[in-house]
Amino acid sequence: MSRRVELTRRGWSLIGAAGGLAVGSYLLGAVELLALAVVAVVVVAGGAGWLAFGSSVDLAMTRRVRPPRLQVGAEGRIDLIVENRAERATPLLTATDWFDEGRRAARFLVPPLAPGATARAAYRIPTRRRGRYQVGPLVVRASDPFGLTRRSLAEVEETDVLVRPRIHEIVAPVAVGSRVSADADAAARRSVVSDLGDEFLTLRDYELGDDLRRVHWRSTARTGELMIRQDEARWRSRAAIVLDVHPEGHDFESFELAVEATASVVARLVRLQRRVEVITSAGTVLGTGGDPRHDVLDQLATVAADPDDRLATVLEHLRSHRRVDLVVAVLGRVGADVTRALGALAGIDAIAVLTQPVALTTTSSLVVVDASARPFPDVWNQALSTRFQASGRSRRSHPQWPAARASSPPSPSPR
């Protein structure tokens, strides 16, 4: 660090007082006032010299953001660690860490540290809005015993802090037979031969929305819990989330709601170990859920409005994409071309999340979640639960359902 010494507010005040005393001495002819002015200047100069040549320290400083990825509304904390690596004790130090784009700062007094000693401090960081922010620089300064001068002894550069969108707890999207449990047991995938002679990838616990025809009855009887067969073809399928980012379709509140809804669906699908891709209405692929190299939640933290509107084209492309079996469209105000494209997603499970009033209704191939007037997690859970109950009733009335169940071997008696 530079040995440049600067005056504190107290030091500047004393220098100003010394100047006033000198002028008074000249006007009144009082030598005593001039002597006081000289003493004041000597004290300030002595403090500056002491800092410049007599306060050499060797500090190691660290800043840590906890957790590494912050979320809107969650608590975020910055930990500061200062270690004395010199062979003698440090003077009284002041640590200042800037944040909120330099508008605010966290200041701490660091007591004298013995050789090898460490001081720790922490402060809360605001997480009211998503985005990428800079924290720092962290500067440690020493001052003379009178607090008239100060000098920077060590500095830590800025740190990028990413605040992700808020994630709501929601039920899993209904995509018949294509979901994978987030439990640790499901992570250890293995090839198993079913009672029907079909190859499937793993056994997992039953979750709301699963096709009851894929229940593995032998494992269910053994464990006492419903177990679902997950076949390899379904494992390789993908889900796509389309985020409407056209500025004319949103106001500030609805845009942030759309981003939060997208992040919540991504997080839920990733917990189910689904392959999920997020695409904006401009055709930009933000990333793939669960991929640490291009984490889509990091991209959602900084996504902004884009005037390039190709929402209908994106939906039409997904209709011809054979590897996509679930489409979630998070929409603002949209036109008739988008509603037609949604209605044309035949053979694909589709969910439309509305953040603005739009004339869309639930059909056999489309679930509409109207979050324009009610909280998103409430209407999502209600719409998906209603859809699951309706699909369950239709399966129980299907003429092939009894035969499919009878094809499984009878459950052994519990021992």
The closest alpha carbon to 178, from 238, 243, 253, belongs to: 238
The Cα angle at residue 176 between residues 174 and 181, in degrees rounded to 5: 75
Distance CA 172, CA 216 (A): 20
- Measured distance between the N- and C-terminal CA atoms of the chain, rounded to whole angstroms: 75
Residue 264 and residue 258: Cα distance in Å, rounded? 10
Q: Rounded to whole angstroms, how far apart are CA atoms 255 and 330? A: 10
Strand ordering across the sheet containing 138-143: 6-7, 149-156, 138-143, 93-99, 104-110
Longest dimension (CA), the chain: 117
CA distance readout (Å), 151 to 5, 54, 80, 192: 5, 12, 20, 69
Model-wide pTM > 0.85: no
- Cα–Cα distances in angstroms (integers) from residue 389 to residues 49, 56, 209, 383, 394, in the given order: 80, 73, 8, 10, 9
Identify any residues that bridge with 243 across adjacent strands, giving them in sequence order.
280, 330
Distance separating alpha carbons of residues 94 and 144, to the nearest angstrom: 12
Centre a 10 Å sphere on the Cβ of residue 387 and count the other Cβ atoms it contains.
18
Q: How far apart are CA 153 and CA 6, in angstroms?
A: 12
Q: Which amino acid is at 214?
A: R
The candidate with the shortest Cα–Cα distance to 13, out of 177, 146, 170, is 146
Nearest-angstrom CA–CA distance, 30 and 22: 9
Residue 13: CB partners within 8 Å, gap ≥ 6?
none
The CB-side HSE value for 98 (13 A sphere, CA atoms) comes to: 11
**Is the CB of residue 258 less than 8 Å from the CB of residue 355?**
yes
CA angle 370, 373, 379 (to 5 degrees): 45
Is residue 241 within 8 A of residue 278, CB to CB? The reply is yes
Query: What is the rounded CA–CA span in Å between residue 21 and residue 38?
Result: 9
Tokens 């047991």 correspond to 185
pLDDT digit of tens for each residue in the chain (415 aa)?
555 778 888 889 989 999 998 899 888 888 888 899 899 899 888 888 877 776 667 888 889 888 878 889 888 889 999 888 888 888 888 888 888 777 888 888 888 888 888 989 898 888 888 988 888 888 888 887 788 888 877 788 888 888 999 999 998 875 433 333 333 333 333 333 333 334 445 676 776 556 677 787 888 888 888 777 765 444 446 788 999 999 998 999 999 999 999 999 998 888 877 788 899 999 888 887 666 555 888 889 999 999 998 888 888 888 776 578 888 999 998 888 888 888 887 667 889 999 998 888 877 778 889 998 899 999 998 888 877 665 554 544 443 333 333 333 344 433 3
